[in-house]
Amino acid sequence: DWTPQHFIESTVAAIREKVGDGHAICALSGGVDSSVAAVLVHRAIGDRLTCVFVDNGVLRKNEFFKVQENLRAKLGLNLVAVDASGRFLSKLAGVTDPETKRKIIGREFIEVFDDEAHRILEQSGNLNSEVAWLVQGTLYPDVIESSSVKGPSQTIKSHHNVGGLPETMKLKLIEPLRDLFKDEVRRIGRDLQMPADILERQPFPGPGLAVRILGEITPERVALLQEADDIVVTEIKNAGLYQQIWQSFAVLLPVKSVGVMGDQRTYAYTCAVRAVHSEDGMTADWVPLPYEVLKTISSRIVNEIPGINRVVYDITSKPPGTIEWE
Ligand code: XMP
C-alpha cells in the first residue's frame, strides 16, 4: 500500500545507502518539486547535501530573500544563495527574441551552477571522487515526456528547468520523485511538514519574469513587473482563489498609451493580467475571475505603480494561446 510515510521511509533509507559518505548538490527554485526532493535527501545525508539557489535577475518581488528564508530557516537546508542577477541582466540587455532570451538564461544558469558545484565539491574534498551526486526533482510526467517518441514537430518553446547537469563533472543522478505525480509530491511535502507556501506555490517558469516582459528586458521593466505581479498574486490570495488556479500572473507589454492621472497626462506601459485553470500545463482555460477581483487588481496596479497606466485581461485559452506570453 502506498502511503506518504512509507514512501518517505523507504526513499530516505535508499538514498542513505546509495550516497554512502559522498556529497550531493541540488539546484533549487523554491518550487514544490526541487524543495521536496532536497528535503528527502537532507533527511538521508544531512549537511552533506548542499543546495544552490540562483538569483537570475528575473525572480519575483522579494523572492530571493523569501526562498532563502524558507529553505534555510524553515527547512534547515544547507544553502548557497548566489546573486547572479547582474550577470544575467547584462547578457539579456537588448535581446527581444523570446527563444534567444530562453537560451541565454538556460546557458547562464548552467555556467553559474557549474561554477558553484565545482567550488562546493572542491571544498568538501569530493571534486574528483566517484561519489558526487546531483539531486533533481524530476516527476513521472517529465520522465514520460522526455522518453516518448517525438515526431518531426517544431519546438514551440525550449523549456528550461533548474538543475541542468553540469558538463565538466561526473555527477551521478538522484531523482527521488521519478515515480510520482504532482499531487503525490504535495502529500509527501505535507508529511514532511514543509511550509504551505512552498507546497501550494503555483508553477513558475525557469526563465522567470523574462518571458513575461515582452520586448527588451531592463532593470526598470523587471521592477515594474515585480510590483504588478505581486499585486495580482496578493489579490488572488485575498480572494481565496490562489489554490484553485493553476497560474495567475501579470505580463508587461512594451506598449505605451495615453492616460490621465489627477489632471496630468500620462504616457505609460500596459499590463496584462492572466489566470488559467489547467491539469498539467498542456492545455488551459482562461479563468473568469470575479469582476470585483479584477477591479481591485486594476485599480491597485494603476494607482500604485507609476509607469503602468492601463490594465487588460487575457481571455485566451491554450490552445491556441500558450500560458506564458513568450
Ligand atoms: P506554455 O507557456 O508553454 O507553458 O503554455 C506551459 C507550462 O510550462 C511553464 N513553463 C516553463 N516551466 N521552464 C519551466 O520550468 C520553462 O522554460 C517554462 N516555460 C513555460 C509555464 O509556466 C506553464 O506552467
Q: What are 287-316's pLDDT values in tens digits?
A: 999 999 999 999 999 999 999 999 999 999
All three cell numbers of 56, joined, read 537570475
The conformation of residue 199, written as its DSSP 8-state character, comes to H
Question: Ligand 1: does its nearest atom lie under 6 Å from the Cβ of 159?
Answer: yes
Which is the closest atom of ligand 1 to the Cα of 203?
A: 24
The tens digit of pLDDT for each residue in 67-114 reads: 999 999 999 999 999 999 999 999 999 999 999 999 999 999 999 999
Question: Ligand 1: does its nearest atom lie under 6 Å from the Cβ of 31?
Answer: no
The answer on pLDDT for 150 being more than 50 is no
Q: Is the CB of residue 218 less than 8 Å from the CB of residue 231?
A: no
Which is the closest atom of ligand 1 to the Cα of 159?
A: 17
The tens digit of pLDDT for each residue in 197-242 reads: 999 999 999 999 999 999 999 999 999 999 999 999 999 999 999 9
Q: Which DSSP string do the residues of 298-309 spell out, in sequence order?
A: HHHHHHH-TTEE
Mean pLDDT, the chain, whole residue set: 93
Q: Which residues are annotated as a binding site for ATP?
A: 29-35
Q: Could you tell me the residue ranges of all domains in the chain? A: 4-199, 213-313
Please state, in angstroms and rounded to a whole number, the distance separating the CA atoms of residues 193 and 201.
15
Report pLDDT for 80. 97
Question: Ligand 1: does its nearest atom lie under 6 Å from the Cβ of 322?
Answer: yes
Helix (H) or strand (E) holding 68: helix 63-68
CA of 57 to the centre of ligand 1 (A): 18
Question: Ligand 1: does its nearest atom lie under 6 Å from the Cβ of 103?
Answer: no
CA of 138 to the centre of ligand 1 (A): 15
List the residue whose alpha carbon is closest to atom 8 of ligand 1: 281
Q: Is the CB of residue 109 less than 8 Å from the CB of residue 56?
A: yes
Which is the closest atom of ligand 1 to the Cα of 158?
A: 17
Q: Which residues are annotated as a binding site?
A: 29-35
Question: Ligand 1: does its nearest atom lie under 6 Å from the Cβ of 164?
Answer: no
- ipTM exceeding cut-off 0.90 for this assembly: yes
Could you tell me which residues come within 8 angstroms of residue 287 by beta carbon, excluding any fewer than 6 positions away? 245, 248, 275, 276, 277
CA distances to 143, 278, 306 from 282, rounded to whole Å, are 15, 8, 35
Could you tell me which residues come within 8 angstroms of residue 208 by beta carbon, excluding any fewer than 6 positions away? 56, 58, 59, 60, 105
- pLDDT (mean) for 49-53: 97
Report pLDDT for 143. 84
CB atoms within 10 A of CB 24: 28
For residues 194 and 127, the model is more confident at 194
Domain covering 4-199 in this structure, CATH number: 3.40.50.620
Count helices and strands (H / E) in the chain.
Answer: 10, 9
Domain covering 213-313 in this structure, CATH number: 3.30.300.10
All three cell numbers of 18, joined, read 546509495
Q: Report percent pLDDT > 90 for the chain.
A: 83
